[in-house]
Amino acid sequence: MNPPDMNLIHQPIVSSNASENNPMSNIDLNFTPIMSNISLTNGSPIKGHRAIVHPNGNVLGIVGDNYRVITNAELFERVDHAIHTNLNSSAIDTMQIIDKASRGYARTFRDIRFPEISRSITTSRHKTDVGFRIIIDNSFDGSGSVKILLGAIDFFCTNGMVHGSYDVFKKVHKGSNEIPSFDGLFIKALEQYTNKMELYQTWASKELKNQSVHRFIETLFPNENTKKNINLPYNKMGDNLLSQYITEADTRGHNVWAMYSAMTYYASHDSAQFSLNRMANDNDTTTERLHKRNDKVMSWLNSKAWSQLVAEAA
């Protein structure tokens, strides 16, 4: 792998409070959950289980007695140390921190973006800067491990995509395992980001023909609705993705990068074209559900149809 840009590496400096760099956030993720015993309506205790409760009284989840809560404050401190150990002051001073929560803080996300760490992706018609980002995904309902997500953000239209995921705390929710240092992971993340930017530039240089685009979408999203007289060879999702590709291609040109951007738009936006299904009392799960779309896009990128599309590009 290629090494990270060396002008981004520096000696440690004094760490600052991350929340001071977070003017866009209006929620507080630095809460300490309360572990509470639970009982039946008749007052009898339920043995072997406890409730994780937010300080505001909201029950976040029911877990076993041996479940270990990992607070966001612990995670943020480790990540903050890695950032201040490995990046220069310019990258730190311009970083953006966006905090979000789902289901009343049962799952939380901290998205840290580094505009200073960016690469230009240039096509024959357009140039955009794509920045480095790291996402801390934590849960307080026992539903999963803590994840560190590595990705990129397109500053032209805020299309975002995760290109790496580390389940670094699968065992830490139980027992007394220490939360590891992020220093080594952070360096690997920068290396991975550098490699991805080189790949994206290669895609930006590969022009696509219309027949290749249609074949790709038809393969992934075939129209299987035989009850209606629809002449399109692909379903509604495919039709919407094609429409988004045309929008991207109008700016970026007809190339693989434009198709990739259409897919990352789907993974990043709850829009009229790619709207999330609405359910009662489900207004705070947008971030969580968009992250699931990221997994879908990853499966598309790992498909034979995508490999064929890239191979056919000039």
Looking at the structure, tell me whether residues 115 and 238 fall in a common domain: no
49 belongs to a structural domain: no
Q: Is 6 helix (H, G, I), strand (E, B) or coil?
A: helix
Q: What is the pLDDT of residue 16?
A: 32
Q: Give the residue from 7, 161, 17 showing the smallest Cα distance to 91.
A: 7
Residues 92, 127 within the same domain: yes
Identify residue 294 by its one-letter amino acid code.
N
Q: Do residues 161 and 283 share a domain? A: no
Ramachandran area for residue 105 (φ above 0: left; ψ -120 to 50: alpha; else beta): left
pLDDT digits (tens, 9 = 90+) for 5-61: 433 333 222 223 333 333 334 689 999 999 888 766 666 667 888 899 999 999 999
Query: Model-level pTM?
Result: 0.81
Across 270-294, b (16+ Cβ under 10 Å) vs e yields eeeebeeeeeeeeeebebbebbebb
* Domain match, 178 and 272 both: no
Which domain-ending residue is among 138, 164, 199? 199
Q: Is the pLDDT of residue 211 over 70?
A: yes
Closest among 231, 216, 234 to 301, alpha carbons compared: 216
Q: Which domain holds residue 239?
A: 206-312
Q: Would residue 269 count as lying in a domain?
A: yes
Residues 214 and 184 in one domain: no
Q: What sign results for the dihedral spanned by CA atoms 215, 220, 221, 226?
A: positive
Order of all β-strands in the sheet with 59-64: 34-39, 45-53, 59-64
- Give yes or no: residues 101 and 217 share one domain: no
Taking the C-alpha atoms of residue 52 and residue 104, their distance in angstroms, rounded to an integer, is 12
| Per-residue pLDDT at 286 | 82
pLDDT at 162: 75
Identify whether 89 is part of a domain.
Answer: yes
Same domain, 148 and 243: no
Q: Which whole number is the average pLDDT over 201-219?
A: 96
Q: Are residues 226 and 166 in the same domain?
A: no
What is the greatest pairwise CA distance in the chain?
A: 72
**Which among 162, 183, 199 is the end of a domain?**
199
Query: Is 42 part of a structural domain of the chain?
Result: no
Same domain, 10 and 127: yes
Counted domains in the chain: 2
Q: Which of 44, 54, 45, 50 is nearest to 66 (CA)?
A: 50
In a domain, 43, yes or no: no
Residues 171 and 286 in one domain: no
Residue 58 lies in a domain: no
Q: Is 59 within the bounds of a domain?
A: no
Q: Say yes or no: 167 and 186 in one domain.
A: yes
55 in a structural domain = no
In tens, the pLDDT along 263-312 reads 999 988 888 888 887 654 455 788 888 888 888 998 999 999 999 999 99
Tokens 């109008």 belong to which residue?
A: 250
Whether residue 89 has pLDDT greater than 70 = yes
Integer CA distances (angstroms), 13 to 77, 134, 223, in order = 14, 20, 57
Single residue among 139, 164, 199 that ends a domain in this structure: 199
| pLDDT at position 19 | 36
Give strand pairing partners of 264. none
Domain match, 95 and 163 both: yes
3-class DSSP assignment, residue 312: helix
